[in-house]
Amino acid sequence: MYGTGIWRGLRVTLQHFLNTYIEDIRYGFRRHVPVEAFPERQGLEARGIFTVEYPEEKIATPERFRFIPFLVVENYDHPERPGHDWCTSCGICAKVCPPQCIWIVRSDDPETGRPIPEPEEFYIDIDICMNCGFCAEFCPFDAIKMDHDYELASYDRTSSHIYDKQRLSKEFRYWQSIAPTRAAEEAEARGGWEHKDVLKQKQREAKEKGKAAN
């Protein structure tokens, strides 16, 4: 019969529309669904509106979410090396970067001319970055990680879209806060919460101490 398709289609829309109001009554006409009811609204039994009203409501991003890298530095209240770079400027991230948006200036010791394991300058052109996450994946020192902050709109791309070392650096604590599971896994693989080189240094010292004791 003609018209049934249209009628059935409209019925679906109407049902969703009414259910949205019924849900509203359940949550007491608050403008946005309360935090505790959020999983339910996106859950299996959800009826009515499904959308999340960005920017008033935001879904938290999962741990593996990747958006623009940042450089891990030692916590600013670290007893020995506050704010020290984890990066050793080995250049693997710059080499593996598909769009080649990472620029690193390696620092050299002014006296010996030998490279120091710390970058003098570190730039990422975020207009070019494609958020693939290779830099974080292949960094042997866990020194570059993908961020979760996706709200980066700005008024002028020419002046503000090349991030320098200062703009890129974030405390190690921040990485632990956005990705606790992975931070713990990585620490386990390294053998401790400190930087790889620090751990190695400690091991060496312990060994020497052991030798001295013998």
CA 97/CA 133 separation, integer angstroms: 9
From the list 19-27, 70-78, 127-135, 186-194, the region that binds another protein by CB under 8 A is 127-135
CA 89/CA 92 separation, integer angstroms: 8
CA 1/CA 138 separation, integer angstroms: 62
Each residue 166-185 as x (binds another protein by CB under 8 A) or -, in order, gives: -----------xxxxx----
From the list 3-11, 72-80, 186-194, 206-214, the region that binds another protein by CB under 8 A is 3-11
User: Among residues 7 and 155, whose Cβ is nearest to another protein?
Assistant: 7
CA 204/CA 24 separation, integer angstroms: 63
**DSSP character for 70?**
E
**DSSP character for 142?**
S
Q: Judge residue 103's burial from the number of C-beta atoms within 10 Å of its C-beta, 0-12 exposed, 13-18 middle, 19 or more buried.
A: middle
State which of residues 71, 87, 104, 126 lies at the interface with another protein (CB under 8 A).
104
Least distance (Å) between residue 100 CB and another protein:
5
Considering only residues 9 to 68 of the shown chain, the ones binding another protein according to CB under 8 A are 9, 12-13, 16, 35, 38-39, 42, 44, 50, 52, 57-66
State yes or no: residue 156 binds another protein (CB under 8 A).
no
**How many CB atoms are located within 10 Å of the residue 210 CB?**
9
From the list 21-29, 71-79, 84-92, 200-208, the region that binds another protein by CB under 8 A is 84-92
Residue 116 Cα distances to 87, 113, 144, angstroms: 11, 9, 18
The answer to whether 152 and 126 are in contact (CB under 8 A) is yes
User: Among residues 26 and 209, whose Cβ is nearest to another protein?
Assistant: 26
Chain residues in the site for another protein (CB under 8 A) = 2-6, 8-9, 12-13, 16, 35, 38-39, 42, 44, 50, 52, 57-66, 89, 91-92, 94-98, 100, 102-106, 115, 121, 123, 125, 128, 130-134, 137-138, 146, 148-149, 151, 158, 162, 177-181
